[in-house]
Structure 1
């Protein structure tokens, strides 16, 4: 890099030169002029728009790094080291002046860099990286994971960021409206890309688009160009040894003069999520008002190897010799190998190819759970047993569900789960990471939820810690589950009916966010079509009357179960509980309805809250729970309307403000006369409705 002489240094140098040599006045002026040109030449060149730098590897460079970012001994800039949920940054050390001194607009510039992303899994990585131009080098408040170490919840998208970035994103984030989990985007002041496209390039000969996989563990080159005259931003991506394509991947018009500050820093940011990934930069160059200098590919460092280090060649030579020496033990070794093969044997069929989720080896899952020992058992139900495991290669915590082929749900439900949740991405739905199959057994691998299921916080009174669930946390969980159901019912490519919404199927992550899981009973059908399900499945207390009568599940049967879930979470009571006073059982919705009719609705709120809750919010949730669990499906709101009620966008119907609605009188009288919705026919229901209408005054 260039070294500039200060005026102080210049004067000292001239004084010493003047005492050592007897220059004439003319020679002294000439020498002074020459020295000023040499010392100030770089600054003059920069102001004239000819500033540039180039790194072919970073050995010996003076880049500024923070977080997990390091420069290895062979010159590789490694932004992340594989540790989960951390971030790293690297900056060119000196600030740059990109604005024209005459008119103040940002001048043309060109950037090129070579990067590589190395994940422990060939088909799964997290989260990505960016090249950015920012007003400073302070990113302490930025978050890892989906925020890529660049922004956070509060400042993402703020104009005060004065930030321009090009993102290489390997996770699809619904919050930022990402197009997929393998794209390049142009970002202004936040991570909601103003323009993005699938990672790839346009072939100069054929003109066809060629897809590239950002997590291919191969080095790739990126060109970022800005035209100060046209206000045009262009981004081009290509494999390392391919000449720069003529047609860019992305091109858009945007005046960066409205974004960037007078003095800026150039750099890179990256962040990890739950998967072991390393984000690396091999070379980097920059040119102001000129093309970025070419990077010398021959001098670039190598990307790190994925997975364990290769075995020593010495070991490869020794092993055959040792094997020959122990020839008498061959029989025993064969027996052990056969037993080992059967222990880890797997089953693969052609139909699995189209479903997509990552396939784990049974050997890895067996070791992750210590042979599926009971000490790792998280839970047990009709659809299988669930174990906690830690994958040895990535140290990733997972939940592994074992399902027998002879189970009641069997292969059909397994295929439904693979086809649905394996392709669904939402922050409030438990993510299916992959699966494994072997003879007589199916294994599903999910994200591990450290805080377990919600029901233990509501009904495990023996554990003082788990019984503490504030009202703010409960309301946050309610809105999260509602958002997940809205996505399943209305916003995914097909309608997904969960069919088993309940507290025990809501899992809590590290931050106590609610995530709806266990899609073993889920059913899919196209938007506009009707559900063909004819079997009653689910959990008693959450089953809607029409489901028990017809066997046909629909989004409204999920809404009914969600209504019971609202009452359960607010009251801290199970849907069906024993009557401690007179024996028998008490139905939660009947109990809440009775208090609503008597004007004592707030007495149903969980006593463990000790009154520390919003009366308005609790009343809203209780009334919404009654509305969603209405005995008549047509009276229930859809999940879109539910979200509007919860967000306060739309007020609840006036009929819910006081117990005067006819349909709720029907429910009250059905409660009083022990009306059994599981046995009565539809015709009887209509007759009873007419009778009750007459009794209530024929409103």
Structure 2
């Protein structure tokens, strides 16, 4: 690095590994041509850089004005140290001045996990940035290896540097020095302002992140990503709400994938690690009749769960609306079959037993073809096949909870099946559990069970007779007479 004058230059350079070669919006100066105020510090940047920095910026925690740093998605270095070289004569590292204008090879080594940084395709190169105070930057040689140790650079074969600039005239030194001091002061002020802006922005998107969560990296969404996807969790993006939180529709900015984000209040001090472990495990469930859970985000006392977006929304909104024609019996029977299939997968076919603990029409979503998908696993719990569930906390929705659950507090596959049975009645009669009371029992006693059917079905019970092959097949699959 060759400063333009007085051994004072700016700002430095970096070796960088990046998913893109587009740095057109990056800031110069202390940002080294890598970032700007809006994208610095984002895990979605996937940028690894080794900086050679010749300006000490206190806002970026620089150790001094001549240092080497390893940066991950920000210019606040993951690891940094004073620039040094190894002296063969003395057998030790010696400090060096990056702005000396001499050929240099600084040393810095640290172990870092690249699995969360590097993508399948990355670009390798260099960036440099100067402010009003400028320097020339030269890469005389470089050695890089994608796997294993890079080949050593033969110092004796390095080309010579261009001639150094002539020293300034003495009469101009004082005025130039004053200008430089003023520029440095202004640059320092701008760095402080930009740093303050970054801190404010970071506070806005501040999350709870603990060391044990690093193993769940692919399942953790940044709050900023979800905030942008839902347009700031605006009310116009609200697609549902219930006793456990609100659900917002959104579009992931990186992939344009439609998602649903549920915001759930949770005590982050009690059992959060176990809770997140189960959420991540549930993200591995794969069944056509389950809404896919993609991951989570934690922010203060709030947990955000990210699901597939299902276009026709919650079943209860359609089932209990005044729309005509409503779902006919064939459609309702098919939804029963699909939810039953998903529940069988959870209880018997996956590697662990999954208790849903809140089966009801409000947690069943309909896709574009009105196929039923069981969703909302915010209350789900897992245990190994052949063992007993340990949960003793009563959760669920009144009207769908089995009597033994209320008595013992112990959820089992049987309590899930009880809730599914209530759901069958609700789908058949079109009434919520609290509205059914003893009315269905009375219809049974009178021998007039069809009087309990939803009047909006308009005879579709009779239309779906034994000659209807689809209904007959569905009946057999459900084990009904």
What TM-score comes out, normalization by structure 1 length? 0.41
Distance 1:322 1:489, change over 3 A: farther
**Deviates further, 607-616 or 417-426:** 607-616
Q: Are residues 408 and 519 of structure 1, via their aligned partners in 2, closer, same or farther at CA, if it must alter by over 3 Å? A: farther
Note if 1:336 corresponds to 2:194: no
Question: Which of the numbers 334, 338, 357 marks the counterpart of 1:480?
Answer: 338
Q: What's the CA shift for 1:409?
A: 9.0
Contact 2:219 2:294 in 1 (8 A): yes
Quick one: structure 1 residues 649 and 340, their matched pair in 2 at CA, closer, same or farther if it must change by over 3 Å?
A: closer
> In the TM superposition, what is the alpha-carbon distance from 1:475 to its structure 2 partner?
1.4
State the partner residue of 2:422. Answer: 564
Q: CA 1:396–1:409 in 2, change beyond 3 Å: closer, same or farther?
A: farther
Q: 1:395 aligns with which of 245, 249, 256?
A: 256
Map of 2:432 onto structure 1:
574
2:337 touches 2:478 (CA, 8 Å); kept in 1?
A: no
- Selected match of 2:453 from 586, 589, 605: 605
What is the rounded CA distance, in whole Å, between the counterparts of 1:409 and 1:449 in structure 2?
32
**Pairing 1:423–2:284 present:** yes
Could you give the per-residue CA deviations for residues 322-376 of structure 1, whole angstroms, max 9, x where no partner exists?
9979735444322211101112233332333455753222211111111111221
Q: Contact 2:330–2:464 at 8 Å: present in 1 too?
A: no
- What is the CA–CA distance in structure 2 between the aligned matches of 1:482 and 1:432, rounded to whole Å? 19
**What's the offset of the Cα at 1:420?**
3.7
> What is the distance in 1 between the residues matched to 2:207 and 2:259?
20
TM-aligned CA distance change 1:560 to 1:651, over 3 Å: closer
Distance 1:445 1:651, change over 3 A: closer
Contact 2:268 2:301 in 1 (8 A): no
Where does the alignment leave 5 or more consecutive residues of structure 2 unmatched?
1-43, 47-114, 135-182
1:591 aligns with 2:449: no
SS at the partner of 2:370?
A: coil
Q: Secondary structure at the match of 2:422?
A: helix
- Measure how far apart 1:559 and its partner are: 0.8
2:329 equivalent among 465, 471, 475 = 471
Aligned mates of 1:532, 1:496 — CA distance in 2:
12
Describe the SS at the equivalent of 2:460. coil
Q: How do 1:162-241 residues align onto structure 2 when only pairs under 5 Å count?
A: none
- Match of 1:484, SS state, is helix
Secondary structure at the residue paired with 1:442?
strand
Aligned to 1:386: 247
Aligned in 2, Cα 1:503/1:651: closer, same or farther, shift over 3 Å? closer
The Cα offsets for residues 399-441 of structure 1, whole Å up to 9 and x where unpaired, read as 1122234489973674264144212111111111122223333
Aligned-residue offset at 1:563? 0.6
What are the Cα deviations for residues 571-611 of structure 1, in whole angstroms up to 9, with x where unaligned? 1111112xxxxxxxx41xx3223212322111222111221
Q: What secondary structure is seen at the aligned counterpart in 2 of 1:380?
A: strand
- Equivalent runs, 1:263-662 vs 2, <5 Å: 320=131, 327=187, 328-355=189-216, 357-406=218-267, 411=272, 414-415=275-276, 417-461=278-322, 464=323, 468-577=326-435, 586-587=436-437, 590-614=438-462, 646-648=474-476, 652=480
Q: Secondary structure at the match of 1:386?
A: strand
- Correspondence for 1:204: none
Provide the C-alpha distance between the structure 1 equivalents of 2:269 and 2:416, rounded to a whole number of angstroms: 22
1:265 corresponds to: none
Please say if residues 356 and 422 of structure 1, whose CA atoms lie closer than 8 Å, have aligned partners that are also in contact. Answer: no
322 and 601 in structure 1: CA distance in 2 versus 1, 3 angstrom threshold: farther
SS at 1:490 equivalent? helix
Contact kept, 8 Å, 1:357 with 1:423, in 2: the verdict is no
Distance in 2 of aligned mates of 1:353 and 1:502: 34
| 1:553 positional shift | 1.1
The DSSP-based 3-state class of the residue aligned with 1:648 is helix
1:526 positional shift:
1.4
Richer in strand (by share): 1
Measured at CA, do residues 371 and 410 of structure 1 come closer, stay the same or move farther in structure 2, by a change above 3 Å?
farther
Distance change (3 Å), C-alpha of 1:407 and 1:217: closer
Would the alpha carbon gap of residues 652 and 358 (structure 1) be closer, same or farther in structure 2, given more than 3 Å must change? closer
- Equivalent residues, number: 315
Q: Distance in 2 between matches of 1:554 and 1:439?
A: 32
Q: How far apart, in 1, do the equivalents of 2:132 and 2:302 lie?
A: 39
TM-score (norm 2): 0.58
Task: Give the 5 Å matches for 1:72-83.
Answer: none
Give yes or no for contact 1:531–1:553 (8 Å, CA) kept in 2: yes
CA distance in 2, matches of 1:393, 1:511: 27
CA deviations on 1:83-132 (whole Å, 9 max, x unpaired) are xxxxxxxxxxxxxxxxxxxxxxxxxxxxxxxxxxxxx999xxxxxxxxxx
CA gap of 1:498–1:413, structure 2 versus 1, over 3 A, is farther
User: Is the 1:496–1:525 Cα contact (8 Å) retained in structure 2?
Assistant: yes
* Shift, 1:527, TM fit: 1.3
Which residue of 2 is the match for residue 664 of structure 1?
Answer: none
